[in-house]
Structure 1
């Protein structure tokens, strides 16, 4: 996206890009902490669900560098996207800079919407730092969707800034959603209290019937699959390494971006295959080649509040799932296996391999995933939004 030099004033800001025709439908403006280009997350799925009865404008988080031009593009039916404008750098770290950037974003978006005679019903926040935009777009109501605790993603010195932003976002909301049953107790008190709207999946995309990545045919079976980041924040590489050493006859296929520290315990293990990040569209074809899927997340740290959406994606493929006992996954213990240490995790994988080819078990897993599809979440969401001001 083009950027303007620091000498440019608000009086000379570029005219916003041409947009949609006026049709009288209310708008939802989403300030997301995840860019639209990373389009495989909860934010993107719920944005699409909101287009059932609204027009939606999805706003990326502000970057570290100034970006003064507002360019809006149509990315799907009734769904538009723009990169978040920013006047000053370091808004993620400095409260005054963040407030200025959000003022600029609200100014440009309000002008873009006004030129289309657009009425904003909902301001949707899943980025804590976007809280200063509340009330600036003339919205009827504010929704805050807690997908993560943003302050856990930053260094200790910056956490107070982001925790203040979280309190502001929760305090501005008429409806607070949480992606995990373990999140509300870790959030500021809100009135009304948070409503848990768990993550979901796309059962059609993750159908068992489909192609298998041909490059996997040479890997020895059984194959134990994982898709996600291999890091030190959430992924328990020591656990996986211990299980891999105890079972050299298993092949561990770990798909996703990795950090140096995250992959360090695994790199010398002959039965561990580390595959760099792949396109989301290619993930199902890789996981179809696996016999068992795993979620080896750390428990008891900063991130054990998560509800990994990969769990439902694994289940939609009909695959057995073995996970560490994250609080949000304990309710699924009658369908997935939970194990907290290397010995019990290995035993759970062994048991899962024994039932990997049992058709009625695969059908049961897929049925659970279908009940937790994003379209099902959309129905729940629209029922919740019906009670908000219009």
Structure 2
């Protein structure tokens, strides 16, 4: 039996529910999907559907309600079936969820085109494609991803992109595309300027500290970090985040390179508070051509000088506005990091931070979501037929 729907605050006018197809686990790194869906849940029911987990039990949908109001749904699919059959089974679970929850009017929000077949049987009011990255360029991307993205473009009423570079690539493929680069919770990261205690796992490290947080995968320039760390053994490189899709044995190892693992979103300001330089050491490859790193405005909100490789959505606007230093290759990257260290505590540093603060004052995830919600309503048809679906087995979070 499903619990009562408590995603809507009492007394607040409701809007159509939102079904979200995501390729990222809710409990993974807190980033764009979590920021947006946390805000969406303030005035609508949000069902965040993760990719399936395969096992021996019969198909069922596991769910849990987060304190922010989002209901996280994890399909459990019996293993041993073809990919097409597995997606058909997931589709039946989602159709059953719609029926069981009585969702007569709902929108579909898609992050991953690969999961488009699981929407069979759904009749959303509006289909939204939030293209937060060029997933087809990532390591191990299936070849059919591009074809399914084309199908998604045909169905979508509105398309959002995770940055300006992606907008330029996608705007020719759909008549209603809007760029929404990474935003920021300024107040959260500004805590780093308020004397937060040094986390225990970095407290014993000497200064200066040059830090990075985020997913460490094929986008991370391991060779660059290895070489700069070799040249500057007195600099401590603090790398925070999970290692994904690359062999940990391939990571650079040195006495001044420190892997601290994944941290919660709430913990990040404390790490930033004790860094001297914040790094965006991304490799220049197909997987990074279209990225818009969320951490760029977060680093700036924390008051830490930023050095990045030449990523398009960091160059525009942060490099162009001289809010971040852009440098490629070990020579340039080392020089840029030294420049941040040399500028610390000077009038030039204070002026740079003042300009950053003025720029950040116009950014917020609240504002981003409000704009997106308006565009979804603009894309909504005047009439919509309710969806119908079959029965589904649902289980609680104690599964």
User: Do they fold alike, i.e. is TM over 0.5?
Assistant: yes
Paired residue for 1:234?
Answer: 219
Query: Is the 2:59–2:89 contact (alpha carbons within 8 Å) kept by the matching residues of 1?
Result: no
- Residues 177 and 293 of structure 1, relative CA distance in 2, 3 Å threshold: same
SS in 2 for 1:204: helix
Q: How far, CA to CA, are the matches of 1:372 and 1:104 in structure 2?
A: 40
Please name the residue that 1:197 is paired with.
Answer: 180
Superposed counterparts of 1:87-166, under 5 Å: 87=78, 94=83, 96-114=84-102, 118-134=103-119, 136-155=121-140, 159-166=142-149
2:24 corresponds to? 34
Find 1:60's aligned residue among 34, 37, 50.
50
Cα RMSD after superposing both structures = 2.6
1:280-322 CA-to-partner distances (Å, cap 9, x unmatched) read 3222211211011010101133332111111111111011110
CA contact 1:212–1:285 (8 Å) conserved in 2: yes
How many pairs does the alignment contain?
A: 365
Report if the CA contact (8 A) 2:60-2:75 is conserved. Answer: no
Helix, strand or coil: the match of 1:83?
A: strand
Q: How does 1:162-201 map to 2 (within 5 A)?
A: 162-187=145-170, 190-201=173-184
Going from structure 1 to structure 2, the CA distance change for 1:64 and 1:189 (only over 3 Å counts) comes to farther
Question: Which one is further off, 166-175 or 234-243?
Answer: 166-175
- Structure 1 residue aligned with 2:334, among 321, 340, 346? 346
Cα distance between partner residues in 1 of 2:80 and 2:357: 46
Structure 2: where are the runs of 5+ without partners?
Answer: 382-399
CA distance in 2 between counterparts of 1:67 and 1:294 reads: 46
Q: Find the counterpart in structure 2 of residue 280 from structure 1.
A: 265
- The whole-number CA distance in structure 1 between the counterparts of 2:247 and 2:105 is 45
Tell me which residue corresponds to 2:35: 45
Q: TM-score, normalised by structure 1?
A: 0.84
Q: Distance in 1 between matches of 2:286 and 2:17?
A: 38
Does the CA contact (< 8 Å) of 2:91 and 2:119 recur in 1? no
Q: Distance in 1 between matches of 2:94 and 2:355?
A: 47
Q: Partner of 1:28: helix, strand, or coil?
A: strand
Spell out the pairing of 1:283-362 with structure 2 (5 A cutoff). Answer: 283-331=268-316, 332-333=318-319, 334=321, 335-357=323-345, 358-362=349-353
More RCO (CA 8 Å, sep 6+): 2
Gaps of 5+ in 1: 1-15
Q: Please give the per-residue CA displacement for 1:337-368, whole angstroms capped at 9, x wherever unaligned.
A: 11111111111111111223333433432443
Assess, with a 3 A threshold, how the Cα gap between structure 1 residues 206 and 89 changes in structure 2: closer, same or farther: farther
Please report how far the alpha carbon of residue 78 of structure 1 lies from its aligned counterpart in structure 2 after TM superposition.
Answer: 4.2
Residues 88 and 100, structure 1, Cα contact 8 Å, conserved in 2? no
User: Any conservation in 2 of the 1:125–1:142 contact (CA below 8 Å)?
Assistant: yes
CA shift, 1:151, in A, is: 3.2
Q: Secondary structure at the match of 1:138?
A: coil
2:355 corresponds in structure 1 to 364
State the distance in 2 between where 1:349 and 1:368 align. Answer: 22
Cα 1:89–1:361 shift into 2, 3 Å: farther
- Asked if structure 1 preserves the Cα contact closer than 8 Å seen for 2:60 and 2:93, the reply is no
Q: In the alignment, which residue of structure 2 is the partner of 1:82? A: 73
